[in-house]
Amino acid sequence: MATFVLVPGADGRAWGWHRLVPELRARGHEAVTLDLPEDSAADLDAYADAIVAACGDVDRLARPLVLVALSLAGFSAPLACERLRADRLVLLNAMVPLPGETAGEWWDHTGQQAAREAYAREEGRDTAFDVRVDFFHDVPQEITEEAMNSAPSGGAPERVFTQPWPLTAWPDVPTRFLQGAQDRFFPLEFQRRLGKERIGVDVEELPGGHLLALSRPRELAQALVRDV
C-alpha cells in the first residue's frame, strides 16, 4: 500500500483529482488531496507548507509516499520532498524548473508558446489559446461542464510566479515523468526535451491530454501504481 499526495496545478483545487482518487483506492492505495492557498501573499514556500500540512502526521502514512505534481506543481512539490521524506516524485504533464528560475520566466526560457502553437498548426487547429480546446479536449463533456460551472478558482497568486525556485538542485528522490501524448498545452516532444535537458529523466508516454486525472483516471492510476 502506498500513499499518493496529489498536488494540483495552477487551478489549485483538489477537485481536479476526484476521478483518480477512487481508482487509486480501488487498487489498495491511499490518496491525499488539497486545495492550495489563494491568499495574495502565498508563494511557493506557502504551497510547500500546504502540501506538508495536508499530510498530517507523516509517520502514520502508508509507504512508499509518492508526491504527484501536476503542471505548475512541478515548482512546488519538489520543495516538500525532504520535509515529507518522500520516497518518490512523479511529474505529471509538469513544468520542470531550474534553480533560481521563476515560474513566470519558465515560459520564455523553455519556448512553451512556440511549442504549443507549432503543435496546434500540426493538428490543423487555431493557435489562439482556448481553455476548452487546450485543456479539456479529451475530458468527458459532463466533467468539463462541471468544471466550467463551478465556482472559479482565483488561480495561482502572483508571488508563485515571481519567486525564484529556491532549491539549488533537483531533490534527491527517484523521479518519474508521466506525460500525455496528446497534451496540447505542453506538447510531448517539448516535454521530452525538457525532461532530458533539465533533470535527465525520460518521459513515460500515456494516452490523453493535459488533464489526465479527469480524462483517463483509470489509465493514470495504473501507471502510478505500477512501480509501488
Least Cα distance to 216 among 140, 141, 123 occurs for 140
Burial label for 53, CB within 10 Å (0-12, 13-18, 19+), is: exposed
Q: Which residues in the chain show pLDDT less than 50?
A: none
Residues 6+ apart with CB under 8 A from 141: none
pLDDT recorded at residue 153 = 63
pLDDT recorded at residue 152 = 59
Integer-rounded Cα Rg, in Å, for the chain is 16
pLDDT digits (tens, 9 = 90+) for 156-209: 999 999 999 999 999 999 999 999 999 999 999 999 999 999 999 999 999 999
> Strands of 203-206's sheet, edge to edge?
30-33, 3-7, 65-70, 88-92, 175-180, 203-206
Question: Which grid coordinates belong to 22?
Answer: 477512487
Rounded to whole angstroms, the Cα distance separating 69 from 72 reads 8
Backbone angles phi, psi at 89, to 5 degrees: -130, 130
Residues 6+ apart with CB under 8 A from 84: 5, 51, 52, 55, 58, 65, 67
- Residues facing residue 92 across a β-bridge: 70, 178
Superfamily of domain 3-225: Alpha/Beta hydrolase fold, catalytic domain (3.40.50.1820)
Instruction: Please report, for the chain, the start and end positions of each structural domain, with discontinuous segments joined by +.
Output: 3-225
